[in-house]
Amino acid sequence: MNPTKSSTAIKESEASTRAFVIGMKKVEIDRALYIAAHFGFTPIEAPKVTESDAKMVEDCAEVIERVPGRFVCDPTEKAAFLRTYIEKGLVSHPHPMALAWHKGHNYSLELIGFPFGVAEAKLIRTALSILNEEGFKNLVVELNTIGDKESITAYEHELHNFVRKVHHTLSAEAKKLVKDNIFSVAAMPEVDIPLPSSISTLSIQSRAQFKEVLSYLDALGVDFRFAPGLVGNKHFCSETLFTIRDADNTLLAGGYRYSRLSKRFGFKKELQLVGATVYCDLKKDSAKKVYKDLPRPKFYLVQLGREAKMRALPLIELLRTHHIPIYHFLGKDKITAQMQTADNLRVPYILIIGQKEALENTVTIRNTSTRAQDTIPLKDLPFYLKNLPF
């Protein structure tokens, strides 16, 4: 199942400018999806959960009672998405891929094939922007990681040692639950002492990957705190998990990696999958506005290098707040692929952030017709772009 490339697919998937992906129905675009489109997500119809989806992941089902405010990883929703991804032929589109949909009061954001760090940052930045536009303030990101399979095995050992110490305080039901799934101890209200830190049991590779995530969050400038009790589901979750809460500790969004599910659907190698859900009710009058189409950018952002990629998401958010949409494809690093996409899209201007621009907090703007270019401070970019001739 290796993605193939074509210029048509590049325009459809990389640019993320259309309200549908080939093989899927056109969907209604409200403000939350419109905001997601600014960050490169293509709106699609919500995948429908079937009995076969539930059966595929029945061993992953949560047995802990769902209480308000507790983050729950739902394997059936992810299974439905993976099945739809295969059935609709999205596997043949260029990757990485970013998709979004709404179902009821929830908005789902899914990334396929994105590398560590930029994926988590892209989801968190998008979710924060959606929440901010709906009036939610003083938001904080909670963060934890359980690492890869090696790390999870080591963490399970630590949890078993922990449970032995608190075993006498647990109810009979709780004792049965931890026997079936040691991770369930994280959701038990009777356990009132801190859990062991999963960060301390990370493998070398997982430690490096989590460090990459933290570097991107630092670049975003968002408030975050570590949450040792955020451990997800050991059967299909891995690496970084996060939630977004307000000052009252209300759960507003959450996300995690679930790459391990892909092998259940026939993939020989794990497909990099990470998603987030915005849980709050956005069906207010302000959110009911429906857009006829997604923004039609006149600019394409090219980023070169790690530091430049870290600058890209704050730049996209800055331009979004000034109602300036731009094309971008943060999942790719090679300049040739990015420039080829820009050429296919026939944009009049290319925005370039390389190592020099990242260090100097500037952006280079190139006219694609004349090849003339200017380098200006990042803070002046919105005003500069609004006054360019077209």
- Structure confidence by residue, pLDDT tens digits, 263-278: 999 998 999 999 999 9
Domain ranges of the chain: 7-149+196-287, 297-386
Nearest residue to 97 (alpha-carbon basis) of 189, 188, 22, 195: 22
Residue 45 CA: distances (Å) to CA of 32, 52, 56, 99, 127: 14, 19, 22, 10, 19
What CATH topology corresponds to 297-386?
Answer: Rossmann fold (3.40.50)
Query: Taking Cα atoms as reference points, which of 107, 132, 110 lies closest to residue 119?
Result: 110
The residue whose two tokens read 């390389």 is 354
CA distances from 106 to 72, 254, 297, 328 (A): 14, 11, 27, 25
CATH superfamily of 7-149+196-287: Bira Bifunctional Protein; Domain 2 (3.30.930.10)
Segment holding 307, helix H or strand E: helix 306-321
| Strand partners of residue 145 | 240
pLDDT at 218: 93
* pLDDT number for residue 188: 76
Rounded to 5°, angle at Cα 202 from 251 and 274: 45
Tokens in use for 31?
A: 């403000």
What residue ranges in the chain does DSSP mark as E strands? 29-30, 42-43, 97-103, 106-112, 140-145, 224-226, 238-245, 251-257, 273-278, 290-291, 299-303, 349-353, 362-367, 373-377
Answer for the pair 103, 80: CB distance below 8 angstroms, yes or no. Answer: no
* Secondary structure class of 361 (helix, strand, coil): coil
93: tokens are 């589109």
Report whether 253 contacts 126 (CB < 8 A): no
Q: Return the closest-CA partner of residue 310 out of 357, 263, 244.
A: 357
Check residue 25 and give its pLDDT. 61
DSSP3 helix / strand / coil % (the chain, rounded to 5): 45, 20, 40
In whole angstroms, what is the distance from residue 178 CA to residue 176 CA?
6
Residues forming a β-bridge with 363: 376
Check whether the bond before 96 is cis (ω within 30° of 0): yes
Can you give the pLDDT at residue 9?
37
Q: What pTM was estimated for this model as a whole?
A: 0.89
Residue 1: its pLDDT value, please?
A: 42
- Ranges under pLDDT 50 in the chain: 1-22, 286
pLDDT at 284: 55
